[in-house]
Amino acid sequence: MKKQPKITFNIKGILSFIVLALISAVMLAAVFIALPYTEKLTDIVSFNLVTKDQDYWTKVYTVSVASGNKKEIEDTKEIIYKRLRDFGVERVNISIGETTSEEIEVTSETEETTEEGEEAKEPEKKTVYKTPLYITVTTTKDTAYIEPLVSLQYEYKVMTRKNGINFDDSSNAMAAYLEENYNKTDFDHTAFRSVYITKLGTSTGGKAYFVIFKPWAHKVDDLRHFLEEHAGDTIGICVNGMVYQYNVPDTISSNVMLYTSTYAENAEDVKELSALYNSGHIPVELTLEDTEDKDTDIVSINYIKVMLGFAAALIVVYLYMFIFKTTKRIELVQSLLTTGIVLSLYISYLKITDTPIDSFILPIEAIITAILVKSLAGNRDSMIYIATAFIITLIFSSIWGTATIVHFSIQMIILTALSCILLPLTKWYINKVKHL
């Protein structure tokens, strides 16, 4: 009897084949999703490239600063800009108008009685300065968040209850919230190094956002003594003219801080509050005089046509290099495949997650990515230098750049990382497919 031949399974080969099939499926899916108009082919999963172009609005806020002092006006301008930037407003322009002054009569609190024959004293006059700030905001953010950022002073200070006021009077429920019913203390914005807004557990078992005030190191002892003096009492934290109650615990922990409740319900509320608290202290009163809607100056493109044009140009470039043999064939295939996959994965991610994007930035990112991938593929000895220099530059520009630069930099960091990861993967993929 002839012996049956042994059936051997090349496990490694089978696994390689399965992995290759899976990778090919992912690549094809990414390309399919990234292509324009493919979202119209299926209702099973929603994916569509969302552009921010139609969401932009522009308003000019005229805010009056109660000061003629150049430094105070400049400080106010700086803080308003920082608030808007920290909140994520895309474009801000602030210009300072002409300062106007007005003399007003200051009436004293005590009545002055004049004896017969005495001349009545002239009432004191005070010069009041007003300087308008014209704040032009162009953004996709909700309009309701912007007005507080540009018009509120948002001063905060610790206060103690005045004697003789009935805070439990049910007929005067507002008594506990009015600043005039409290005495000032030495603890205002200068005593606290930072303000955090975070979710904490409530007494009812749920969770809510609280504002936590952390003092400077040199103020910790003073604050501890103050809280120990008022242990068990209710003090107030006055924020923008409204007082929030704070019940001082009987024993003060080593981690000295104050906290209050807040109206924040979602991440945008928290971001707005954080910008209001942590962008700096506006030294003067602000009054919102006027708001005016303006036409939005936003550039938008037909990104479908542009991306098709880009794809065609990319193929022409690689054909040129192939025909004129400027680069090795395997390197051309590797870099073209990597560019295609990187951009497809990125656009697929944007489409699936409905992440809004400025349409005019996309083609520029695509060009830079194509150049980057070709440079990484064609210069192995320079790969680490190109990638490192790119990441360093983009990280710094994402931290310190203006709005457009920040968005571009963050997106380019993702594309650079994808390029660096996928380049060796595509080389492995091509080698494996060749040997199938």
Tokens encoding 82 = 């920082």
Min CB(304)–another protein separation in Å: 9
| Segment lying near another protein (by CB under 8 A), choices 33-41, 52-60, 148-156, 361-369 | 361-369
> Distance (Å, rounded) from C-alpha 234 to C-alpha 197?
21
> Which pairs from 47-51 meet CB under 8 Å and 24+ separation?
47/348, 47/351, 47/352, 48/351, 48/354, 49/303, 49/347, 49/350, 49/351, 49/357, 50/350, 50/354, 50/355, 50/356, 50/357, 51/300, 51/303, 51/356, 51/357, 51/358, 51/359
> CA-to-CA distance for 184 and 163, rounded, in angstroms?
13
What percent helix, strand, coil does the chain show, rounded to 5?
Answer: 50, 20, 30
State the nearest-atom distance from the C-beta of 405 to another protein, in Å.
6
Identified binder of another protein from the candidate list 32, 216, 396, 428, rule CB under 8 A: 396
Nearer to another protein, 303 or 429 (CB): 303
The residues near 117 (Cβ < 8 Å, ≥ 6 apart) are none
Q: Which stretch binds another protein (CB under 8 A): 226-234, 255-263, 319-327, 428-436?
A: 319-327
Please identify which residue in 290, 309, 329, 330 interacts with another protein, judged by CB under 8 A. Answer: 309
What is the closest distance, in whole angstroms, from the C-beta atom of residue 96 to another protein in the complex?
Answer: 9
Q: How far apart are CA 141 and CA 311, in angstroms?
A: 33
Closer Cβ to another protein, 240 or 302, answer by number: 302
CB of 298 vs another protein, minimal distance in Å: 9
**Angle 143-151/267-278 helices, nearest 10 degrees?**
10
291 is a site residue for another protein (CB under 8 A): no
Residue choice 52, 59, 77, 214 for contact with another protein (CB under 8 A): 77
Which single residue is written with the structure tokens 């103020």? 219
Interface residue with another protein among 57, 167, 210, 360 (CB under 8 A) is 360
d(CA 209, CA 197) in angstroms, rounded, equals: 6
Select from 33-41, 140-148, 160-168, 393-401 the region that touches another protein (CB under 8 A). 393-401
Site residues for another protein per CB under 8 A? 74, 77-78, 81-82, 85, 91, 93-95, 297, 299, 301-302, 305-306, 309-310, 312-314, 316-317, 320-321, 326-327, 360-361, 363-364, 367-368, 370-372, 374-375, 378-386, 388-390, 392-393, 396-397, 399-405, 408-409, 412
